[in-house]
Every structure is written in C-alpha cells, then in structure tokens.
Amino acid sequence: MALEQTLSIIKPDAVKRDLIGRILARFEAEGFRIVAAKMLHLSEAQAQGFYAEHEGKAFFAGLVDYMTSAPIMVTVLEKENAIGDYRTLIGATNPEEAAPGTIRRDFALSKTQNSVHGSDGPSSAEREIAYFFAESEICPRD
Ligand code: IDP
C-alpha cells in the first residue's frame, strides 16, 4: 500500500480542554508519523475558506463561529493508507454514532464540537495540506 499524507486538525473544543498532547499521542500510537505541525487561531475568512464546501448549509455559520472560537493544532500525518486509516481512527462526525475506541467517541462534545478533523479523500488531503503548509514546512523522514 502507498505511503500517504493526510491533514488533521485538533479543533477548538479539544484545544480548550488541553487535550492536544493526548490526541497527538494517539496518532503516534496508531502508527501515524507527524511530518508537519502548527498552532494557529483561524480568522473568519480562513475558517470559511477551509469549509467552503459547506457554505449555504444550516450549520455553516455555527461551524465558522466554533472554528474561530479558540486556537487549533494542524498537523500533516504520514502512513500507509493514512487518509482512510485516520478517518477510521477519528470515527463518525457525530460522536454518538462514532465507534467505541475512536477519538471522537472518546473526546468529542457534539456533532459540531467533535474535537478533530481529517481529510476525506486524496484530493481534499492535497487541498487541505496546501491550505495550511508550504512544501518547505513538511518534513518527511526516510
Ligand atoms: P467530517 O468532519 O466528519 O468530515 P463534514 O460533514 O465534512 O464532517 O462536516 C464538517 C464539520 O462540520 C464536522 O466535523 C462538524 O464539526 C460540522 N458539522 C457537520 N455536520 C453538522 C451538523 O449536521 N450539525 C452541526 N455541525 C455539523
């Protein structure tokens, strides 16, 4: 299977509750290598641009408010089959529907405040990684 990269965000609800370290440890324990990382506080325009595909939906304004409510931690994770395996690790969007042992089941507060983001396919991974990182900020090893 091919080595892939995916974009992960530790979202405001998790940052506010000081869960960054525990969540990053889960990534590494599951075999994901952190090859880029930064913490930032999204502007409204940045949050709207990142979630542009959801513009017009009923939850969009609340999603933007939430994503700008506190800092986030953005990482690029590398692994074989990283995109699919990371979606499995975080679980369903709604924590009540997320499988036991997933990050959202363990940490998320609600369908909006669901602690983590992960790219949902190869083209969104490419777009989302480029949204936050210059190529020179990504540090793959061996
Ligand atoms: P995903 O994060 O599991 O890929 P998406 O459907 O891409 O889910 O939605 C992006 C984010 O928007 C979700 O993670 C969640 O924070 C929020 N969201 C999605 N659907 C709803 C909803 O029905 N109500 C409230 N918030 C939602």
131 lines ligand 1 (CB under 6 A): no
pLDDT of 83 reads: 98
Confirm whether 117 is a catalytic residue.
yes
Give the structural domain span for 121.
3-9+19-137
> Is 93 marked within a binding site?
yes
Per-residue pLDDT at 120: 97
pLDDT given at position 65: 98
Give the ipTM. 0.97
Q: Is residue 119 part of a domain?
A: yes
The CA distance from 42 to 95, in Å, is 24
CA of 59 from ligand 1 middle (Å) equals 8
| pLDDT for 6 | 98
Q: Is residue 95 part of a domain?
A: yes
CA dihedral sign of residues 58, 17, 29, 75: positive
Report whether residue 126 contacts ligand 1, using a CB cutoff of 6 Å. no
Tell me the CA–centroid distance for residue 141 and ligand 1, in Å: 32
- Residue 30 maps to a domain: yes
Separation between Cα atoms, residue 141 and residue 13, nearest integer Å: 31
Tokens of 78: 């590398």
Which residues neighbour 80 within 8 Å (Cβ) at sequence distance 6 or greater? Answer: 1, 2, 3, 4
| Residue 141 pLDDT level (bands cut at 50, 70, 90) | confident
Provide the sign of the torsion angle of the four alpha carbons 10, 16, 22, 24, taken in this order.
Answer: positive
CA of 114 to the centre of ligand 1 (A): 8
If one counts the domains in the chain, the total is 1
Q: pLDDT band at 112, cuts 50/70/90?
A: very high
**142 found inside a domain:** no
3 state DSSP class of 48? helix
Catalytic residue (choose from 116, 117, 125, 128): 117
Residue 120 sits in a domain of what CATH number?
Answer: 3.30.70.141
**Does any domain span residue 35?**
yes
- The answer to whether 104 is a known ligand-binding residue is yes
Q: What is the pTM of this model?
A: 0.98
Tell me what pLDDT residue 2 has: 83
Residue 69 resides in a domain: yes
Looking only at the bridges linking them, the beta strands covering 33-40 and 3-10 are: unpaired
Question: Among 9, 59, 104, 110, which is best to mutate for testing ligand 1, by the most ligand atoms less than 8 A from CB?
Answer: 59
Is 14 contained in some domain? Answer: no
- Do 3 and 79 meet the contact criterion of CB atoms below 8 Å apart? yes
Q: Nearest-CA neighbor of 132 among 49, 61, 56? A: 49
Q: Is 26 one of the annotated binding-site residues? A: no
Q: Is 22's pLDDT higher than 80? A: yes
**Nearest by Cα to 4 from 90, 117, 76, 82:** 82
Residue 52 falls inside a structural domain? yes
Binning pLDDT at 50, 70 and 90, where does residue 58 land?
very high
> Which pLDDT score is estimated for 35?
98
